[in-house]
Amino acid sequence: MTNMNWIKLSTYEDLDRIKEESKSQPVVIFKHSTRCSISSMALNRLERSWSPEEMTEVKAYYLDLISYRDISNQISSEFNIRHESPQVLIVKNGEVIYDNSHMGINYDDIKEATKS
């Protein structure tokens, strides 16, 4: 059972909405490869650690990058970041302020970055 209330990211409009929402609250994007065991492990670790009580001001979006590769490419292009999988991004004021991938995906780091 996940503690996360994921919002599905699957359209260019969702990406525009994320940029707008990030002006008033931090937004987390988790880019997940459903074909990758490391991605599944990172997702599971994040979901088990996530505390809704600590992250009340944070919106969390989930991107299945196998199904929505074009959206993943758009994220890389718009935010000028290298595509990785799995990858977690934090968006504030329309900009990526934090990104990490693979075993570097860590709840405490994400929590800290959303507070700054």
- CA nearest 81: which of 24, 40, 90? 90
Interval 27-51: pLDDT, tens: 999 999 999 999 999 999 999 999 9
pLDDT confidence tier of residue 55, bands split at 50, 70 and 90: very high
Which architecture, in CATH terms, is 7-115?
A: 3-Layer(aba) Sandwich (3.40)
pLDDT score for 116: 72
**DSSP-assigned states of every residue in 64-97:** ETTTTHHHHHHHHHHHT----SSEEEEEETTEEE
pLDDT score for 2: 58
